[in-house]
Structure 1
Amino acid sequence: MSDAILSLRGVKTDIAQYHILQGVDLDVPRGQVTMLLGRNGVGKTTTLRTIMGHWRARAGTIRLDGDDIAQAPTPAIARRGVGYVPENMGIFSDLTVEENMTLAAASGPLERERLEWIFGAFPALRTFWRSEAGNLSGGQKQMLSIARAMAEERKLYLIDEPTKGLAPAIVSTMAGALRDLKRRGASILLVEQNFSVARALGDRAAVMDDGRIVWTGEMAELAGDAALQERLMGLSMETA
């Protein structure tokens, strides 16, 4: 894909004796939201962690804006403008919301305009600005995790299951914030099990199975074809 901000070719990743990624080929178009979908345990989280350098690829290339980052350390990948929101949130529980956000803005003080935009997306963070992050509810912690990635404009956002286990009202807030980030032209690779969120946010979709990408195409095409969903993932978006 000529305007892909991120391209993976033949990426293989092992964890201990297990071959998790078995030759992943994936393109993430610039300025679009790419949904990484599939059943549990097929390699979606490992794909994000490999891109971010938490797991080292045994083979293959990972190109960010044309440069191979497959063997780069995680801090160097982050400095290249990649924001990562892990499934386990990755916040500092003993620090306040303010301190978490300040640390996330690595290049300097938080810009007031950007902070007000984040407060607009997640009003609870303004309310609990001086509170320790460990005292937040689960949904508020997830908001903070997303907000940390949004503290600066990133070249690419990797987001792992941001709505998992959240109440419907919090899911709606989270989806609205991600939709706003998308409107700002962000490039996002998003793992998401909530298919209504995937359908609403995704421009393109890539479906994984057994450590490989088995289908890529427009999100609208996948969302509109129940038989294709059943064949690829064993379920239908209409009933999910």
Structure 2
Amino acid sequence: MSDPILSLSAVYTDIAQYHILQGVDLVVPRGQVTMLLGRNGVGKTTTLKTIMGQWAAKSGQIQFGGADITQMATSARARAGIGFVPEDMGIFSDLTVAENMALGCISGPLKPERKDWLLSAFPALATFWEAEAGNLSGGQKQMLSIARALAEDRKLYLIDEPTKGLAPAIVSTMAAALRELKAQGASILLVEQNFSVAKALGDSAAVMDDGRVIWTGEMAELATSKDLQERLMGLSMEAH
């Protein structure tokens, strides 16, 4: 694979006394959506947080755009072009939607054309633009979290379970926005338990188990093979 946007080589991460990542090798192709899959508790969220620098890698190497960022501060990784949507959303409840969005803009104010696109993708945010984010529903907060990460063009987006616990209509809105982002040529590493969303968006896939990546390949191959799904994850996608 030529010129990947991101690569992890033998990355180990400990949290307190727990050895969470145990030699993760992962390559994210430029301009594609890579699905990071696996059962709960296998290290997917820790992988994203290690890439973002919220957890420090104990050993191994993380390369982004050809540069070693293993020891780089989280803020510097953000400035280098990595956007992160955490599972817990990280919304500032006492700030307005507009103020939350402003925090996602590193290089300057939100550009009008970018704002127009985001509000067309997430219409609820237009309705509550001047309202405090704490008044939003759970689904609307998740929309805001994603929209904030998309406030500027990023070289890479890390997105952790964006559709978790959401109503089907909001899932459809999320998937449509991510599909449009994909069409724009974005590079995305996406953790997602909704397999219909994973199948629709993913180009490639990496499956984790016990703190390691145990399989990589085309998302289409994984989506069409029940035997592979059950061997790697102990379940069939059709049942989820």
The bucket for the TM-score relative to the shorter chain is: over 0.9
Q: Give the drift of 1:90.
A: 1.0
State the partner residue of 1:174.
174
2-structure distance, mates of 1:235, 1:104: 37
State the partner residue of 2:63.
63
Q: Give the drift of 1:104.
A: 1.0
2-structure distance, mates of 1:15, 1:109: 36
2-structure distance, mates of 1:66, 1:170: 36
State the partner residue of 2:139.
139
Q: Deviations over 1:27-79 (max 9, x none)?
A: 00000000000000000000000000000000100000111111111000000
Structure 2 regions of 5+ residues with no counterpart?
A: none
Q: Deviations over 1:147-191 (max 9, x none)?
A: 000000000000000000000000000000000100010000000
Q: Give the drift of 1:3.
A: 2.1
1:151 aligns with 2:159: no
2-structure distance, mates of 1:125, 1:238: 33
Indicate the SS of the match to 2:13: strand
Q: Give the drift of 1:2.
A: 1.7
Once superposed, which parts of structure 1, at least 4 consecutive aligned residues long, lie more than 4 Å away? none
RMSD in angstroms over aligned alpha carbons?
0.5
Q: Give the drift of 1:102.
A: 1.1
Q: Give the drift of 1:232.
A: 0.3
State the partner residue of 1:196.
196
State the partner residue of 2:97.
97
Indicate the SS of the match to 1:154: coil
1:162 aligns with 2:171: no
Indicate the SS of the match to 2:49: helix
1-structure distance, mates of 2:104, 2:91: 10
1:219 aligns with 2:214: no
1-structure distance, mates of 2:183, 2:65: 21
Indicate the SS of the match to 2:90: coil
Indicate the SS of the match to 1:9: strand
Percent identity reads: 77
Indicate the SS of the match to 2:55: coil
Structure 1 regions of 5+ residues with no counterpart?
A: none
Indicate the SS of the match to 1:207: strand
Q: Deviations over 1:91-115 (max 9, x none)?
A: 1111000001112111101110010
2-structure distance, mates of 1:43, 1:2: 26
Q: Which amino acid aligns with 2:144?
A: L
